[in-house]
């Protein structure tokens, strides 16, 4: 009997020890939850979401009971797939542009984590504060593209492809705004001169200016007869003017017809000026003149420059519309590039009067045909990567040479960045803010190293207000939704 009692005592002690051990183990705290994004999520740039498309953000998690999202603004939705460990995000076309996704992670031990991700809906490309950079692309290997700089300064490298899933034509050259649409012309469309066929949306693309969604596209075959088109102006749905090596054609998209504009032969490789319901370009030479296009006729109206002016006009470098309805004209007294006196004039199209001021450099025009840019009475131009400004004084009693004294040196970009080797095509000025934009490349061979500069010269000439690196591919120029249309 004593042996039995002893055995029960040993068993009870053993059970007590085991129970004590289990109790201690149950008191050990659960590990803290772990949560991280496996999809790259930048801290300084939001996640871009195209309306009515789904974006997935994947994550990794340990020691987690649940992953939930807080409510989003109207038009936004987020769904957690905990089995697949991802969050699916979408937005409608009328959603608020910006939203914050807040993710709450509940740990198995009761501890919670919180993560925030900034979201940005790409549902508005016509904000007056935005900026477009049209890129030619490499002629032999790639299509054109359209870079978008949002009002907040976010950059979408190819906004057109992001929205549409397809690409612009090879060697995109110019774009125009009219009646809520964007028109983009490319030199080669879907086939370059070497016979290489590209997969893209063709030679002329039309998109909704607000959403950037393609509404129409015309291939090289649709525009047969055009020889390397470079620039476009649009007055209405039936009057699209396209400049090529022969001159200017009017394209009617409804009929898909091309009509040569009489008197436009030899029109220069230069951007049109569109104002007052008409489009303007020029002819350069000893009898230089402005060419006016209107919906009333398929022939140009020639507007001659005055003969009695200080700096005779034997070559036109470029034109820009002025805020008061007159026209800025940059000219040379010589027909030879690199010689003669360079002047900027303010030309009255009605009475054909002109006020001129001389400048000390001859800007390289480039393939875009943009020799200078205007903001109010400030004219900006560049000699290489050095930028100048002429504050234009309209006083009638001043001599043309007074411009030389007024010309202001603004900045040498190569002094700020050794990779700013060359300026590629023209500069631009935002019509609302006055910010001056310039594109530079390290070199033609190293075009992948490039810079978009934005200067607020009234604030500083020593440092840019913004600078974006390595986004462009042979940029054709800057375009602004707030510009004259």
Confidence band for 477, pLDDT divided at 50, 70 and 90 = very high
The pLDDT of residue 465 is: 97
Nearest to 417 by CA among 477, 462, 366, 361: 462
The pLDDT of residue 325 is: 95
Nearest to 57 by CA among 70, 46, 71: 46
Which tens digit of pLDDT belongs to each residue from 232-254?
999 999 999 999 999 999 999 99
CA 420/CA 449 separation, integer angstroms: 9
Which tens digit of pLDDT belongs to each residue from 337-375?
989 999 999 999 999 999 999 999 999 887 777 899 999
For 73, counting Cβ atoms within 10 Å of its Cβ (0-12 exposed, 13-18 middle, 19+ buried), the class is middle
Whether pLDDT at 29 is above 80: no
> Are 192 and 198 a contacting pair, CB within 8 Å?
yes
CA 191/CA 226 separation, integer angstroms: 13
Confidence band for 7, pLDDT divided at 50, 70 and 90 = very low
The pLDDT of residue 12 is: 38
Q: What is the mean pLDDT of residues 30-57?
A: 93
Token pair for 363:
């800007």
Which tens digit of pLDDT belongs to each residue from 416-438?
999 999 999 989 999 999 999 99
Whether pLDDT at 18 is above 50: no
- 3-state SS class at 149: strand
Instruction: Tell me the pairing of strands 112-121 and 47-49.
Output: parallel
Give the DSSP H/E element, type plus range, for residue 406. Answer: helix 402-406
CA dihedral (72, 75, 80, 84) in degrees, to 10, reads -150
CA 398/CA 356 separation, integer angstroms: 9
Q: How many CB atoms lie within 10 A of CB 16?
A: 10
Instruction: Tell me the pairing of strands 34-37 and 55-62.
Output: antiparallel
- Laid out side by side, the sheet with 204-208 consists of 170-178, 181-189, 204-208, 214-218
Q: What is the mean pLDDT of residues 174-185?
A: 97
Confidence band for 291, pLDDT divided at 50, 70 and 90 = very high
The pLDDT of residue 369 is: 77
- Total number of residues shown for the chain: 485
The pLDDT of residue 26 is: 52
The pLDDT of residue 138 is: 85
Q: How many CA atoms lie within 13 A of 428 on its CB side?
A: 27
User: For residue 356, how far is the Cα from the chain centroid?
Assistant: 33
Whether pLDDT at 225 is above 60: yes
> How far is the first Cα of the chain from the last one, in angstroms, to the nearest whole number?
110
Whether pLDDT at 75 is above 90: yes
Q: What is the mean pLDDT of residues 135-159?
A: 94
The pLDDT of residue 43 is: 86
Exposure b/e, 249-284, CB count within 10 A at least 16 = b: bbbeeeeeebebbebbeebbbbbbbbbeebbbbbbb
Confidence band for 11, pLDDT divided at 50, 70 and 90 = very low
CA 116/CA 344 separation, integer angstroms: 53
- 3-state SS class at 386: strand
Q: What is the mean pLDDT of residues 136-144?
A: 89
Q: Please provide the average confidence, as pLDDT, over all residues in the chain.
A: 92
- 3-state SS class at 204: strand
Nearest to 370 by CA among 335, 326, 320, 413: 320
Whether pLDDT at 1 is above 50: no
Whether pLDDT at 461 is above 50: yes
Residue of 198 and 102 predicted with greater confidence: 102
Check if CATH label 3.40.50 holds for domain 34-121: no
The pLDDT of residue 10 is: 40
Q: What is the mean pLDDT of residues 120-143?
A: 94
**Percentage of the residues of the chain whose pLDDT score is greater than 90:** 84
Whether pLDDT at 108 is above 90: no
Whether pLDDT at 106 is above 60: yes
């Amino acid at each position: 009997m004593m042996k039995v009692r002893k055995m029960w005592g040993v068993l009870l002690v053993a059970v007590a020890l085991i129970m004590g051990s289990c109790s201690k183990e149950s008191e050990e705290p659960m590990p803290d939850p772990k949560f991280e994004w496996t999809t790259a999520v930048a801290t300084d740039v939001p996640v871009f979401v195209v309306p009515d498309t789904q974006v997935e953000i994947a994550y990794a998690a340990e020691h987690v009971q649940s992953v939930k999202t807080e409510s989003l603004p109207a038009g936004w939705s987020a769904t957690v797939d905990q089995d697949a460990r991802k969050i699916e995000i979408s937005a409608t076309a009328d959603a608020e542009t910006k939203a914050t996704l807040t993710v709450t992670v509940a740990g198995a031990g009761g501890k919670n984590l919180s993560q925030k991700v900034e979201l940005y809906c790409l549902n508005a490309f016509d904000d007056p504060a935005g900026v477009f950079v049209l890129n030619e692309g490499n002629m032999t290997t790639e299509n054109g593209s359209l870079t978008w700089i949002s009002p907040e300064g976010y950059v979408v490298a190819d906004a057109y492809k992001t929205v549409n899933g397809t690409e612009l034509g090879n060697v995109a050259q110019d774009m125009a705004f009219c009646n809520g649409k964007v028109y983009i012309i490319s030199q080669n469309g879907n086939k370059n001169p070497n016979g290489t066929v590209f997969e893209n949306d063709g030679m002329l693309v039309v998109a909704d200016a607000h959403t950037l969604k393609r509404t129409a596209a015309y291939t090289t075959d649709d525009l047969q007869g055009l020889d390397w088109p470079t620039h476009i102006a649009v007055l209405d749905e039936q009057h699209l003017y396209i400049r090529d090596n022969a001159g200017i054609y009017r394209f009617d998209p409804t009929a898909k017809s091309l009509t040569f504009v009489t008197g436009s032969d030899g029109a220069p490789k230069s951007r049109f000026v569109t104002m007052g319901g008409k489009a303007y370009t020029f002819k350069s030479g000893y009898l230089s003149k402005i060419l006016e296009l209107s919906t009333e006729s398929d022939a140009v109206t020639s507007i001659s420059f005055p003969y009695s002016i200080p700096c005779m006009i034997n070559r036109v470098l470029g034109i820009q519309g002025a805020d008061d309805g007159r026209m800025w004209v940059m000219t040379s007294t010589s027909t030879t590039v690199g010689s003669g006196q360079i002047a900027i004039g303010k030309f009255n199209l009605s009475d054909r009067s002109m006020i001129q001021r001389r400048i000390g450099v001859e800007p390289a025009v480039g393939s875009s045909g943009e020799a200078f840019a205007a903001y109010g009475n400030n004219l900006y131009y560049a000699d290489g990567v050095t930028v100048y400004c002429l504050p234009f004084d309209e006083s009638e009693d001043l001599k043309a040479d007074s411009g030389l004294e007024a010309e202001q040196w603004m900045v040498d970009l190569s002094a700020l960045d050794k990779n700013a080797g060359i300026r590629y095509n023209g500069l631009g000025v935002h019509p609302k803010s006055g910010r001056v934009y310039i594109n530079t490349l390290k070199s033609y061979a190293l075009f992948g190293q490039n810079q978009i500069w934005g200067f607020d010269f009234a604030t500083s000439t020593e440092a840019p207000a913004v600078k974006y690196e390595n986004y462009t591919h042979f940029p054709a120029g800057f375009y602004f939704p707030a510009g004259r249309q």
